[in-house]
Amino acid sequence: MNGNQFGRLFRMTTYGESHGPGMGVTVSGCPAGLKLDREDIQRELDRRKPGQSKVTTSRAEPDAVTINSGIQDARSGKYEPFITAPRPSHGDFTYSAKFGTRNWGGGGRSSARETANWVAAGAIARKVNRSQGIEVRAHVNQIGDVQAPEVSWEQLADVEDNEVRCADPETAEEMREVTDDYQEAGDSIGGSVYFEIRGAPRGLGAPRFDSVPARLGTAMMAIPAVTAFEFGLGKDAREISGSERNEDWTFNGESEDSEAENERGDPVPTGNDHAGLQGGITTGQPIYGELTWHAPTSIPKAQETVDWETGEHKQAQVIGRHDPVLPPRAVPVVEAMAHLTLVDFMLLSGRVNPDRLDGRVGEYDTDYHPSSPQNDPEDAPTRAEPSED
């Protein structure tokens, strides 16, 4: 089906379905010269995989970086009662109505399992962005009614210190308790993730449909179960006047003794309620925002459904291993989608050469080009004889 590609010059194309024989991603458009090994991707996949703690599903899915891999311990039998009886609030009925059929095992293509591919592609985009000084960090800032205080950029580097992935340790403990309560009750709860991007240069993006917030919003809203995407003031902007929201301009190098024009520096806003975005284009300041997730729809509590084939009313009770809350595992997904969006803008704007990272256009003798063999074996099938000249 369509809708399995993201990006323009840096593009990922994904395939596979939940509980299918395999899932994968093809990444195209990565400039040559990027040092990359298997561990770069595996490390990010390990952050997203299930079974990391009690606040995530216990399914055994190693997400090993290899061809046609990632689906292990797959069980579809428990989904058989829902072939013609859609689970409440899932994509079962809408997929059947749209395509006339569906992969009923685990939700098929609509499953959040597919985000493993995004994280793999995002790991590559992360390395390209880091080579340009761009970094993305995120953490869980709310679960249920437990909300974390504002945290620093430095604190965001420590989200792996607890299983909830909240940068504030005390709040993380409260979040864990709330999650445990919902899980014990056979229920689930929603939450949110805060993200921040630093190092994005000014001038990325274009007006309207190719603006940075427009495409960043597309990326983030594509994440399963996300119900809201905000940046800057977000929904609070509805209560703030223009005079309060507008930010004056100044020079970033200006001081009392800066008399010469070349000592003033560049024009910069005096604040950053715009989250580094004005007119849809980056200002060079940090880009930040928040995503909201609804509670996971697969829960053990009994719910009501109907079977359109038998005409019966049925009780739907999802049996299996499912997340009681989504944001802890979604943190690496958010970071991946931010990196994929930013690397595409970097390529489209010419900040990064789409052919290669070193910027040496037309140069063929590079330190990362394969070398000619020094000792050509006599029995080599493609042996080249030295010229007598």
What CATH number has the domain bearing residue 48?
3.60.150.10
Q: Is residue 215 part of a domain?
A: yes
Q: Is residue 131 part of a domain?
A: yes
Strands 267-269 and 313-316, how do they pair? Answer: unpaired
- Helix ranges (H only) for the chain are 38-48, 92-99, 115-131, 169-184, 212-221, 242-245, 327-348
Question: Which string of DSSP letters, residue by residue, matches 50-114?
Answer: S-SSTTS--------SSTTB---S---GGGGGGSSSPPTTSSHHHHHHHHS----GGGGGGSGGG
Number of compact structural domains in the chain: 1
Q: Is residue 380 part of a domain?
A: no
Residue 74 C-beta-side C-alpha neighbours within 13 Å: 18
Q: Would you say 232 and 288 are in contact if contact means Cβ atoms under 8 Å apart? A: yes
Residue 372, classified by CB atoms within 10 Å of its CB into exposed (0-12), middle (13-18) or buried (19+), is exposed
> Could you tell me the sign of the dihedral formed by the alpha carbons of 121, 123, 127, 129, in that order?
positive
Full pLDDT tens readout for the chain, 389 residues? 567 899 989 999 888 777 676 778 888 888 877 887 778 888 888 888 776 666 655 555 656 765 343 235 444 555 666 778 777 777 777 777 777 776 665 566 667 788 898 999 999 999 999 999 999 999 999 999 999 999 999 999 999 999 999 999 999 999 999 999 999 888 999 999 999 999 999 999 998 999 999 999 999 999 999 999 999 999 999 999 999 999 999 998 876 555 555 678 999 999 999 999 999 999 999 999 999 999 988 877 788 888 888 888 887 777 666 789 999 999 999 999 999 999 999 999 999 999 889 888 899 988 888 887 766 666 666 666 666 66
Q: Is residue 68 part of a domain?
A: yes
Q: What is d(CA 285, CA 275) in angstroms, rounded to the nearest whole number? A: 7
* Whole-Å CA distances, 20 to 104, 137, 326, 342: 10, 32, 22, 31
Residue span of the structural domain in which 190 resides: 5-232+272-348
Q: Is residue 249 part of a domain?
A: no
Residue 106 main-chain phi, psi, to 5 deg? 75, 15
DSSP H or E stretch at residue 169: helix 169-184
pLDDT at 24: 82
Task: Give the distance between the most distant pair of CA atoms in the chain.
Answer: 88
Rounded-to-5 percentages of helix, strand, coil across the chain: 30, 15, 50
Residue 192, classified by CB atoms within 10 Å of its CB into exposed (0-12), middle (13-18) or buried (19+), is buried
Q: Is residue 247 part of a domain?
A: no
Q: What is d(CA 236, CA 222) in angstroms, rounded to the nearest whole number? A: 23
Q: Would you say 186 and 299 are in contact if contact means Cβ atoms under 8 Å apart? A: yes
Strand blocks (E) in 151-231: 191-198, 226-231
Encoded amino acid at 276, one letter: G
pLDDT at 248: 94
Q: Is residue 245 part of a domain?
A: no
Q: What tokens does 40 get?
A: 């770069």
Q: Is residue 257 part of a domain?
A: no
